Structure 1
């Protein structure tokens, strides 16, 4: 299908912008953002977009956790004649300047969430190692990802109350990914349910005023990651930024006594690098957490990433995070805000994590679903 975007530069194949790569329906491009106050209040904003050119679909979500309530907005549209426009209903993304300034706007809608927020990068963007894996001889995933730290300004309104965000007190992070992405369907409402065994993983973005650490680790045997990617950015007194690639990762985690799911209480991450001395990162869990099923990661009530729901569809709800049934359905995958201590500097960040049945360490949380 030919669209006006085909007048622009940037084609990667002999096809049009309406088609990606070899036409694999799993091809996905995704944006993801989080914002949270530096003082550690139970307040967390999550926003994401998914672009599925070979399915003809774009979907998006916006969510806010305040206290023990998670508010969710979800929307989906067919790409039609504007496949590259990052707008889904009332939710819009504007890349003002690549790797520097992004603007997110959610206009009034039935969810009670609205905002006008701007992300300003505070460290350079970092590309992770290519995540490529096969299963039974078939390609399961071949994905590129970029991560970046930043500060936020603007405003958000939730349930009739408006909050102002200032860069000095609202920090956050974003990522951008593209490629063949493995599907995850763990929603009760749409079998088949996927189960996962024998692994621990974490994707964590942690920052202080002068340091940023991004790490993605997956392992089946403690101390032997089968995927490890990450980088440290250190701001020097002259304002320059020094980058080191992470080459080793060790973890010691204390799990909270949470009867409803997997929850970290505290942790220590020992990082080693291609050059220079190692780094010890101490983490303490804070109250705010956004469960990513609210953004369709794994599905919710029959919605799943990339599904064609017609020309336009939206939905919204609010979750009581102390409700056992909600938490069982929400499972583990989420952005959990953590207090960060690195070499005497205090900061904040998020961690996504999960431990699956059969992994030799951390048996306690394994009674709950890992993703």
Structure 2
């Protein structure tokens, strides 16, 4: 049926705006944000998603201070309005592609929020992302990313944290399309005839430097075959170098012995004339994505799952708890990253950003033969 959005000339198909072209249950439309102090002591993360074919809208906000991590989650029925709010949580698009505000009146559940995002550089259009598993297209999405800073305040654990944009940096992205969401689908044949060499290796590195932003993305299977590759450097709009492709990145990860917990990664890139560049990023702490925020097999809640109307919940964990640590090898984790980029002429740049990595199952280039292999 017609909604207020149908009065605007935004249509891309002969359908009402509360409908989507795909009938795939996994269609989604999502915001993602993170932020952190440059010492990595405090990190925040938030997301908001609409799942029209599941009839669900949800959001979360997460804060980690030291080893303690708090998350509030909100979920409700999707009514087709396409506004950016769910229960006590809302996102205000103050200036598209530049300034956004997040408000969450959830102090009673553990976290209260009123913060504003300020983009530092233009958004970066990422390469379209497709992924097939057992021949089926399970991910078909478009995304853009941005680095920036934060202002405002967060209330958690009886304290108020003021976010100074000179001290708080972060990254965000918008994505939409198809990806696994909601309740798990029946495994069917593949539950009995799974690939013993299955592997999912993922790297996502959006970093902010003084004069430019760098975004590196790569996905590989268990044999190391790369199925997604994107590496760019974007300068300020008035800079003569504009938008640079950085070639086919090569990665060397260092994991904590006996685990798959990331300590650092060295990335070899190529500038416009083919000269080598290196970016070395180290982890300064992380948020456990599958221990509250709803990612990667979180046993408590997942994005798009139906929890009834007006559902609000809060949870606190310790990221060093063995139960939480034990999930690392089966999901993706988001780290505060400090990076040093070295140009071919030896010039160095220091930056901060998101070090997002997951290595699940086999990955031959890393020496992991199966789900239970760990670093020596």
Same fold judged by TM-score > 0.5?
A: yes
Q: Secondary structure at the match of 2:5?
A: helix
Q: Secondary structure at the match of 1:153?
A: strand
Shift in alpha-carbon separation, 1:77–1:131, aligned structure 2, 3 A: same
Q: Deviations over 1:236-261 (max 9, x none)?
A: 9x75662112321101111123x6x5
**Distance in 1 of aligned mates of 2:222 and 2:200:** 7
In terms of mean alpha carbon deviation, does 141-150 or 193-202 score higher? 193-202
**Distance in 1 of aligned mates of 2:327 and 2:362:** 21
Q: Deviations over 1:9-56 (max 9, x none)?
A: 312222212211133221111100000112x13210000011111222
Residue 36 (structure 1) aligns with: 36
Shift in alpha-carbon separation, 1:211–1:285, aligned structure 2, 3 A: same
Residue 342 (structure 1) aligns with: 341
Confirm or deny: 8 A CA contact 2:294 2:300 kept in the other structure: no
CA-CA distance at 1:197 after TM superposition: 2.5
Q: TM-score, normalised by structure 2?
A: 0.87
Q: Secondary structure at the match of 2:326?
A: helix
**Distance in 1 of aligned mates of 2:117 and 2:373:** 35
Match of 2:372 among 350, 367, 370: 367
Residue 78 (structure 1) aligns with: 77
Residue 302 (structure 2) aligns with: 304
**Distance in 1 of aligned mates of 2:183 and 2:320:** 24
Q: TM-score, normalised by structure 1?
A: 0.88
Confirm or deny: 8 A CA contact 1:3 1:18 kept in the other structure: yes
**Distance in 2 of aligned mates of 1:18 and 1:140:** 23
Residue 109 (structure 2) aligns with: 111
Q: Secondary structure at the match of 1:361?
A: helix
Q: Deviations over 1:204-248 (max 9, x none)?
A: 112221231111101237775221023112349x75662112321
Residue correspondence of structure 1 range 1-371 to structure 2 within 5 A? 1-38=1-38, 40-80=39-79, 83-183=81-181, 197-220=198-221, 224-235=225-236, 242-257=242-257, 261-273=259-271, 275=273, 277-301=275-299, 303-329=301-327, 331-343=330-342, 344-363=348-367, 367=372
Shift in alpha-carbon separation, 1:170–1:310, aligned structure 2, 3 A: same
Q: Secondary structure at the match of 1:6?
A: helix
Q: Secondary structure at the match of 2:247?
A: strand
In terms of mean alpha carbon deviation, does 95-104 or 285-294 score higher? 285-294
Confirm or deny: 8 A CA contact 2:291 2:324 kept in the other structure: no
Q: How many residues align?
A: 360
Shift in alpha-carbon separation, 1:285–1:139, aligned structure 2, 3 A: closer
Q: Deviations over 1:128-151 (max 9, x none)?
A: 111123444433221101111111
- Structure 2 unmatched ranges of 5 or more: 185-190, 343-347
In terms of mean alpha carbon deviation, does 358-367 or 163-172 score higher? 358-367
Confirm or deny: 8 A CA contact 1:90 1:109 kept in the other structure: no
**Distance in 1 of aligned mates of 2:15 and 2:74:** 28
Shift in alpha-carbon separation, 1:184–1:250, aligned structure 2, 3 A: farther
Q: Secondary structure at the match of 2:165?
A: coil
Q: Secondary structure at the match of 2:28?
A: strand
